[in-house]
Amino acid sequence: MPHDLVIVANRLPVDRVEQPDGTTGWRTSPGGLVTAIEPVMRAGDGVWIGWPGGVDVALEPFTHDGMDLVPLTMSAEDVEGFYEGFSNGTLWPIYHDLVAKPEFHREWWDSYVAVNQRFAEAAAEHANPGATVWVHDYQLQLVPRLLRTLRPDLRIGFYLHIPFPPGELFQQLPWRREILEGLLGADLVGFQLAGGAANFIRLVRQRVGHKTHRDLVYLPDGRTVRAAPFPISIDAAGFEELARSPAVTARAAEIREALGSPRRVFLGVDRLDYTKGIHARLRAFSELVAEGRFDVEDAVFVQVAVPSREQVEQYRLLRDEIDRLVGRINGDHGRIGRPAISYLHSSYPREEMAALYRAADIMVVTPYRDGMNLVAKEYVATRFEDDGALVLSEFAGAAEELRQAWLVNPYDINGMKAALLEAYAADERSLTRRMRAMRRTVTQHDVKAWAASFMTELSDVHTHEKAVRPARRS
């Protein structure tokens, strides 16, 4: 049955789980995107199209927890070419400042085009006349254009969750023009930051040759496309509520005790990804331990590294590097029952994440480049007593909003060491002042506000265009 609102994302918002009786069922994935979009979907007769995970999993559309879901099948070749290849081996590093070297393979591109076409066809099939379609992220940048060709009646929005790179990097892509044209199939293209939107507009002018004015692109067929920032956020109230619960409070105390009740607990929580700067951050901490500035009785670092993209070679190498570093530091500086770094290569339920945030005095988030970084915002949301310190990379999107964090350049190890020392020694008044301001930001701009503002702008895009359209295009 067609719908008035279609969400298109690489993954469905559910994970397959084995039931105790051996059958398989579904569980809503804990991510922020689901929290954000669920209310929009329910209010607007929505359907979600995406990959359920796994290879050659062919399933009929189904309803889970009141959400209509349309699973798309991926073959082993699709996973290798479209997902691990072009999305994560080519686009991911280019869009993250070339932190790793991107690979260019024509067969990966062909697979990217073919899978994007399948997503577009599925969206076309499930959309009512004049429906709204919201396409998500870097894996699906060709969908807006492919979909518009199939269904010119639709209103199409696109949102990029990762940074949109400056022209000097983007231009390396052999398929740069196709990607820009793919995105221009949308009425509204949303980015995390104003800088990403500006990069896109400039590239469209230079590479595709369309006229632009401020945040609008004028296409030869008379259509206009708007590019604008929509910084994503979290379910701040939900996180705070979880953090206040007796179970999480008790668990946080238990974690601190298990760590030997040190004076300060440092925490890092990231997908195990080379963009997240885990290695450099642990190095900064370990040098402070080696220099005797921190004693393992006083300061412990807990690093949670959530397994990610384990089939991709660069991710396996990163894991080995971090394993070696942690082993060396703990071997050199740990004492019995007191490792300098507690390293956990695993994922945890949301309650455990909230308990870790509450147990931590200093949250360390130091990506080389990050679209936003929700972990930083989640930490802030759980600090309802206005305590705790955030050390945050200048290169995370979140740094534009969380100005009261200890901002660091993740390439500058000495700078990071200085920030860790300052956050360690900060007095209560300064911590409260900083945290209170950051909490205000996160609670006021939560994920529901983010989704609502994108949907409002998408439905207003043509009105907006008339208001600002210049007499002569510039």
Binding positions for ligand GDG, rule: CB under 6 A: 30, 32, 161-162, 232, 269, 271, 306, 347-350, 353, 370-375, 378
Of 28 and 171, which CB lies nearer to ligand GDG in the complex structure? 28
Phi, psi for 218 (deg, rounded to 5): -100, 115
Q: How many residues does the structure list for the chain?
A: 474
The distance of closest approach from Cβ of residue 347 to ligand GDG in the complex, given in angstroms and rounded to an integer, is 3
The distance of closest approach from Cβ of residue 307 to ligand GDG in the complex, given in angstroms and rounded to an integer, is 9
Of 34 and 299, which CB lies nearer to ligand GDG in the complex structure? 34
The distance of closest approach from Cβ of residue 50 to ligand GDG in the complex, given in angstroms and rounded to an integer, is 15
Of 376 and 419, which CB lies nearer to ligand GDG in the complex structure? 376
Residues pairing with 132 in the sheet: 5, 155
Using the CB atoms, write b or e for 206-237: b if 16+ within 10 Å.
ebeebbbbebbbbeeeeebbbbbbbbbbbbbe
Alpha helices in 63-183 (DSSP H): 76-78, 92-95, 106-126, 143-150, 167-170, 176-183
Structure tokens that stand for 64 in this block:
């889970």
Of 32 and 52, which CB lies nearer to ligand GDG in the complex structure? 32
- Residues with Cβ within 8 Å of 279's Cβ and at least 6 positions away in sequence, in order, are 318, 321, 322, 325
Of 154 and 447, which CB lies nearer to ligand GDG in the complex structure? 447
The distance of closest approach from Cβ of residue 192 to ligand GDG in the complex, given in angstroms and rounded to an integer, is 7
Give the residue carrying structure tokens 């922020």: 32
Structural contact between residues 365 and 393, judged by C-beta atoms closer than 8 angstroms: yes
The distance of closest approach from Cβ of residue 350 to ligand GDG in the complex, given in angstroms and rounded to an integer, is 4
Structure tokens that stand for 1 in this block:
């049955």
Q: Is 249 exposed, middle or buried (0-12, 13-18, 19+ CB in 10 A)?
A: middle
The distance of closest approach from Cβ of residue 48 to ligand GDG in the complex, given in angstroms and rounded to an integer, is 16
Of 64 and 350, which CB lies nearer to ligand GDG in the complex structure? 350
